[in-house]
Amino acid sequence: MKTGIFGGSFNPVHKGHIHLAESVRDELGLDRIFLVPSGISPHRSSAEYASAEDRLEMLRLACKGKRGLEVCDFEVKSSRISYTIYTIEHFRQSFPDDELFLLAGSDMLLSFDQWYRYRDILANAVLAVVSREDGDSVILAEKAEKLSEFGQIIVCKAPPVMVSSTKIRKKIAKNEDWSCYLDENVVQYIRLKGLYGRDEVSF
């Protein structure tokens, strides 16, 4: 079976994430993709974080009815820092016969050689990347080529969908329109729970 692993803070999950997952699923013929929200991120402070439960629930809502997309709570349940190699090792043990794919946006490819044990990651999974920015195909191809001695990197053809969780959180805090970037059930959830600086009274 071809199994994808797609990690991130998903704070909140948005249409760019789902676009990435569905593009890789369709271009590379993946059978299933596990979306794995991070627990303790090695890169971020916890100040602007929605809780693990809320991020998991938003992911479940966004993945509902989407073929092959599943949510995995492995990282949020772990007491260790969310290094990707630990998650890859967990999936390698759980599904020893599967072909594993690690899904990521192009920003992650550009910094990939600074990731903890990135060579081990590439030894265990194909890295499947989707662009986040127009006109970055040359630089992505160069980076993929440099890393290819350690494993396989595939840059997918899907065009970028330029949205980020940071942009959405800022828009929510400034009371600007943000609903178009998210699944409508996620929009309702954020409103109901008053996440990211909004309270339900003002909606």
Provide the 8-state DSSP code for 111.
Answer: T
Residue whose C-alpha is closest to residue 37's, from 19, 17, 20, 16: 17
Binding mask 113-152 for ligand ATP (x = CB under 6 A): -----------------x-x--------------------
Cα torsion through 86, 144, 113, 98, rounded to 10: 10
Residue number with CB closer to ligand ATP (48 or 120): 48
Phi, psi values for residue 15, rounded to 5°: -65, -25
Least Å distance, CB 43 to ligand ATP, is 8
Residue number with CB closer to ligand ATP (2 or 158): 158
Least Å distance, CB 150 to ligand ATP, is 18
Residue number with CB closer to ligand ATP (25 or 132): 132
Token pair, residue 143, equals: 């980076």
Residue 35: enclosing H or E segment and its boundaries?
strand 32-37
Footprint of ligand ATP on 1-60 (CB under 6 A): 8-11, 16-17, 20
Residues 6+ apart with CB under 8 A from 42: 81, 82, 83, 116
Residues that bind ligand ATP (CB under 6 A): 8-11, 16-17, 20, 104-105, 107-108, 130, 132, 161, 163-166
